[in-house]
Chain A
Amino acid sequence: MGKVLRVDLAKERVTEEKLDEATLRSFIGGSGLGAKIMYDEVPGGIEWSDPGNRLIWATGVLGGTRAPASGTYAVVTKGPLTNFLTATHANGFFGARLKFAGYDAVIVQGAAKRWVYLYIHDGVAELRDAAHLLGRDTWETEDMLKKEIGERQLSVSCIGPAGENLVKYAAICSDRGHVASTNGCGAVMGSKKLKAIAVHGKAAVPINDKRRFTALVKEWWDLSYATMFGMLIPSMGTCGYFSASHELGFLAVKNFTANVFPDHPKFNGDNVRAYYKGKPRPCYACRFAHCHEIEIKSGPHKGEIVEEAEYEPVTAFSSMIGNSDLDAAEWLANLNDRLGMDAKEQAFVIGLAIECYEKGLITKKDTDGVELTWGNVEAVETTLHKIARRNGFGDVLAEGVMRAAQKIGGDAPKFAVYTHKGIAPHVLDGRGMWFIAFSFALSDMGSAPAGDMGDLGDLMPTVGAGFMDPSTAFSAEVVPKNFALIGRRGQFIDCLGVCMFASGVQLKHVADTVSAATGWDFTWREAVDVGERGLNLMRAFNIRHGHTREDNSISPRIAEAPHEGPAKGISIGPKFDKMVDDYYEAMDWDKAGRPLPDTLKRLGLEYVIKDLK
């Protein structure tokens, strides 16, 4: 445990390092460990595309064990949309196989002179030529490397054409359909000329107390089925709350120009499962098995086998673009993954482009003849290809929603949905659930920690039902305080190397499982500290890279009141500044959003204090 692979692409040199136990216990792994490495190695002034930027793959102390859904890994880097830190996660098998190969993390630095891929297996790592993989999409790349290496139990984490062409919201994809998506981590990989990492191994992950660990994991699963995730996801997938989000007014519809989408039942999980009757394709050590393989049943792509898309990609290519065809939405979501782009940013990029076209800000002359109207799925498909290759109008959109709006000009910046850091939120209409809008705007990692969507576990008695309680959907008083608490929990979960969907159990249970795995006497209070430590280090990293309070703001469209639905006439805009004050206070930060010296001392981050002066 605690071995890290360092890859210097400029020198094409691979070395091993050992993490000391104190660092591992303080940061656990995943996005926490990634933030620590980023803080230590990437000083202010290093831009996202500089060779000095680091690109880190990190699993956690539970990764590759039999803990629930423990194939998850984090990707941590400085991303191009915000030019601040990003920490983003993908499930599947890659994280577990990285552990089986002997490593907790891979740190990539420098930039290669030629396109390469990294092959890791059983404690050995080598860089190989990747010229033959160029232009291949993420699924093709995976298939080609499996054939080339001749190993079926191989995981590939790679970029598609979008990453190669430095699309600012290019993603990193692994295990067919599992995507580390946020803030252009795929563009960072492209800037380093690293096409893929392929990994497999046979080493078992050591467990300190096997009997106790096994009992805790069994109980963890039993408890998981009584959480909101366990109740919903195994039977209906994440689309199981599509209709619920519509009823409650936070389904994202037509770039936030509407809040009513009458065809919502078609996209709800019950109908999706009945329509496709797909085949489960579970991640490593996952009993929920909500991931499914399905076959497109109608239209030009009939017969294609794709991954059943999650809630946000389905929303991106249905209600957000005015499309009522389920097969088309599933196909577009799949295509977006294969080209290697973030479905969140894509939703708001395409939504903006269509709204601008419909309102006459742009015409066919601007879009290279493509008729970008609501519901025109062929036009969207063409545009996805153009973006991934930065072809024509695609080059404008490849810059992400905020910059594309600025380039289009006119009223476009008023239509664009983004947080002021320059990145789109998750594909949810946060105007109907302020926790959503607020947590995305305040996050220091690109989107938001797992906790924004998670069960509150031990924190539940303290903060009520939090995000889950729509009766506080518009509470400017409750939301900031809840986010401060929930964020700490979520950040800890993001360090473990397990899937957030299987982690809705009480934090004490998770902490006990960490103890059994490691031999530490790890408590749930220590877990909350790990989360808070990570959040503060991310904030400190961003401040060193120019972050100010101004970056914790929302675009004019998010500040508007919806015209219809449950949130009709209600706007977060006038209350937002006070909410930011309250959040900073709850985090023990000053009014500029800078961690106070006492906060940093309490968390063992004394060395950060001098950097923030």
Chain B
Amino acid sequence: MAKVVLKIYPPLSYKISSKRVGALILEQEICQRETLGDLLARLASGDSEAWAVLFDVQTRQIKPYVVTVFNGVALPVREAFETRLSDGDKITFLPVYGGG
């Protein structure tokens, strides 16, 4: 079975997991021709409120304050959901802005 790895940085991970320090790592099996949006929707089916911090189920879009890095390359917010997944892909979700 093909697998991908999701790495979710806090505080994006805080509602998904009780882990408080360090990024949450989730290894997930994927189906054939599955997109990142399909995978996230599947994960969210158990607890949509927890995953709502990452994406909007209605509009099928990653939240504008979340950066999605796909195999080392940052994806445009509007394209992330439709990205096709393959075995071994690494997807990182980051909170980001600059300054302070």
Task: Please state if B92 and A247 are interface contacts (CB–CB under 8 Å).
Answer: yes
Q: In the complex, are the beta carbons of A248 and B10 less than 8 A apart?
A: no
A228 in contact with B92 (CB, 8 Å):
no
**Contact among B64, B69, B78, B100 with A228 in the assembled complex (CB-CB below 8 Å):** B64
Q: Could you tell me if A244 and B9 are in contact, using CB atoms closer than 8 angstroms?
A: yes
Please report the total number of B residues contacting A with Cβ < 8 Å: 29
Q: Is the CB of B95 within 8 A of A232?
A: yes
Chain B residues 42-100 with CB under 8 Å of chain A are: 53, 64-65, 67, 69, 72, 74-79, 92, 94-100
C-alpha spacing A254/B70, complex, angstroms: 27
Partner of B94 from the list A229, A241, A271, A464 (CB cut-off 8 Å) is A241
Question: Interface residue tally of chain A, by bracket?
Answer: 35 or more
Report if A604 contacts B (CB, 8 A).
no
Residue among B11, B53, B100 with max Cβ neighbours from chain A (10 Å): B100
Q: From residue 416 to 437 of chain A, which have CB atoms closer than 8 A to chain B?
A: 426, 428, 433, 436
Question: Known contacts A240-B95, A270-B20: does B100 contact A231 (CB below 8 Å)?
Answer: no
Interface of B is mostly: loop
| A241-B95, A248-B69 given; A265·B74 CB < 8 A | no
User: Is there an interface contact between B100 and A244, defined as CB atoms closer than 8 Å?
Assistant: no
Chain B residues within an 8 Å CB radius of A248: 67, 69, 74, 94, 96
Q: How far is the CA of A322 from the CA of B99 in the complex (A)?
A: 20
Contact yes or no, B98 A452, CB < 8 A = yes
User: Do A227 and B65 touch (CB < 8 A)?
Assistant: yes
When C-beta atoms are compared, the residue in chain A nearest to B12 turns out to be A231
Q: Which residues of A contact B78 (CB under 8 A)?
A: 464
| Alpha-carbon distance between A312 and B97 when the two chains are bound, in angstroms | 12
Across the interface, which residues of A come within 8 angstroms of B20, CB to CB? 270, 274
Name the one of A240, A265, A433, A465 contacting B98, with C-beta atoms under 8 angstroms: A433
Q: Which of A231, A271, A426, A566 contacts B95 (CB 8 A)?
A: A231
**Residues from chain A with Cβ under 8 Å of B98 in the complex:** 241, 245, 250, 426, 428, 433, 436, 452-453, 467
Given A238-B99, A426-B98: A231 in contact with B23 (beta carbons within 8 A): no
A20 interface residue per 8 A CB criterion: no
Q: Please report the C-alpha to C-alpha distance between residue A197 and residue B14 in the assembled complex, in whole angstroms.
A: 43
A244, chain B: closest CB distance, angstroms:
4
Mask: chain B, 21-57; 1 = CB below 8 Å from A; 0 = not: 1110000000000000000000000000000010000
13 further interface pairs, Cβ-Cβ under 8 Å (given A248-B94, A269-B10): A228-B97, A231-B12, A232-B65, A237-B100, A239-B100, A241-B95, A241-B96, A244-B95, A247-B92, A270-B22, A311-B100, A312-B100, A467-B98
Give the top 4 A-B pairs by smallest Cβ distance, nearest first.
Answer: A238-B100, A228-B65, A470-B74, A311-B100
